[in-house]
Amino acid sequence: MKNVIFLAVFLFGYTVQAITGFAGNIFCMPVGTYTLGLQSSVSILNATGFLACTLLAALNLRSINWRELGKIVGVMLPFVALGAWLDTVIPLHALLKIYGLVILAVGIKNLVQKKQTFLPEWALWGVLVAAGLIQGMFVSGGALLVIYAVQKLTDKEQFRATLAAVWSILNFLYAFYQLWAGHFTGEVWLMVLCCIPLIVLATFIGGKLAKRISQERFLKLTYILLLGIGAILLVTS
């Protein structure tokens, strides 16, 4: 039953990710932690995140902003490594609650305000650093990265494709590290295999839905997702 619950949430989360370019693992991680365990969930979601995002990026290759892709990965990658290390040496439950509050505040702010405000460039660099740390610790850096991406990637298709490419690269590197560290058990491999057809289905459904959503509704959906993510993090941490 626990596996069925995880797979159902996985299908929903990755359909959302196919629409927006982010948020799949953020929805799946809390459920996976309670059904499969923290370490198994991290390993499964890194592997499936790589597969799903590579598929989405490949289908939208022409829409990728390569300059922003290089910048985002270049800044985030060392902090992903730092976050993964911190996760092994200090308790992070309090930090997870703070993260949930920050994401909740960002979602509320952008839904309530009538005119979009822009962060200064130095603050955007800070957002990328924080996104890398959170990704390394919780495999959930997408909610912070979207703050940067909404300002830098104003086209809907470019937004989806570029974020998908970012997660494809980062998830691959993190999954490779976990494979080397021996975290991919038989149970993990079995769940990854079960998730593969769901990835294909979610990408198909999400792609169809994404074409029917206007830019305005797309941004509103993005901010509503941030509210949901923040609430999930607060409740489950």
In tens, the pLDDT along 136-152 reads 877 777 778 988 998 99
Other Cβ atoms closer than 10 A to 111: 14
DSSP 8-state assignment for residue 212: T
* CA neighbor of 49 nearest in space, from 228, 194, 199: 199
Instruction: Using CB atoms within 10 Å of the CB of residue 209, give its burial: 0 to 12 exposed, 13 to 18 middle, 19+ buried.
Output: middle
The answer to whether the beta carbons of residues 161 and 149 sit under 8 Å apart is no
Residue 95's contacts (CB-CB under 8 Å, 6 or more residues apart) are 137
For the chain, counts of helices (H) and of strands (E): 10, 0
Q: Where do the H-state alpha helices sit in 87-141? A: 93-112, 121-138
What is residue 237's predicted lDDT score, i.e. its pLDDT? 66
What is residue 116's predicted lDDT score, i.e. its pLDDT? 66
Q: Quote the tokens at residue 235.
A: 């409740």
In percent, the amount of the chain with pLDDT more than 90 equals 37
More confident of the two residues 36 and 232: 36
Q: Does the pLDDT at position 78 exceed 90?
A: yes
Q: With bands split at pLDDT 50, 70 and 90, how would you rate the model's confidence at 215?
A: low
Residue 229's contacts (CB-CB under 8 Å, 6 or more residues apart) are 23, 26, 27, 100, 103, 107, 140, 143
Mean pLDDT of 204-218: 81
Q: Does the pLDDT at position 93 exceed 70?
A: no
The overall average pLDDT reported for the chain is: 85
pLDDT (tens digit, 9 = 90+) per residue, 98-136? 777 877 877 787 788 766 677 899 999 999 999 998 888
